[in-house]
Amino acid sequence: MLHRSHNRAKARLEIHAPVFAALGDETRLALVVKLARGQAYSIAQLTEGSRLTRQAVTKHLRVLENVGMVRCRRTGRESLFELDPKPIEEMKEYLEYVSGQWDQALARLKAFVER
């Protein structure tokens, strides 16, 4: 059972890099925090409070959309964006895998030293 989650995490490593990259920007990181509040926000709403242009924010939103962290639906004259938590769960799985491996390595080292 531990073996299964191991393979699952390893099989999906390729998918993760672009998702991590999407969060590798302060603006996008902040957007995700705002979107995590659960509502759907228009581009104008998401631009408000930022020192950036609306178009800059739009670009960031498209990046998030392309990696599947955000979904967009047109409603009237505005585009509403809302979070999709699945990629975040995948990132958590990856990090759990890495730190799990690390912890096991430390445990083996400890057992070896104490022998």
Partner DNA sequence: CTAAAATGCAACCGTATGGTTGCATTTTCA
Partner DNA sequence: TGAAAATGCAACCATACGGTTGCATTTTAG
For the CB of residue 24, give the shortest distance to DNA in the complex, in Å: 7
CB 46 within 8 A of CB 58: no
* SS3 assignment, position 88: helix
For the CB of residue 91, give the shortest distance to DNA in the complex, in Å: 17
| From 40-48, 50-58, 73-81, 95-103, span contacting a second copy (CB under 8 A) | 95-103
CB 31 within 8 A of CB 25: no
86, amino acid identity: K
Of the two residues 12 and 77, which places its CB atom closer to a second copy in the complex?
Answer: 12
| From 31-39, 43-51, 58-66, 71-79, span contacting a second copy (CB under 8 A) | 31-39
* SS3 assignment, position 93: helix
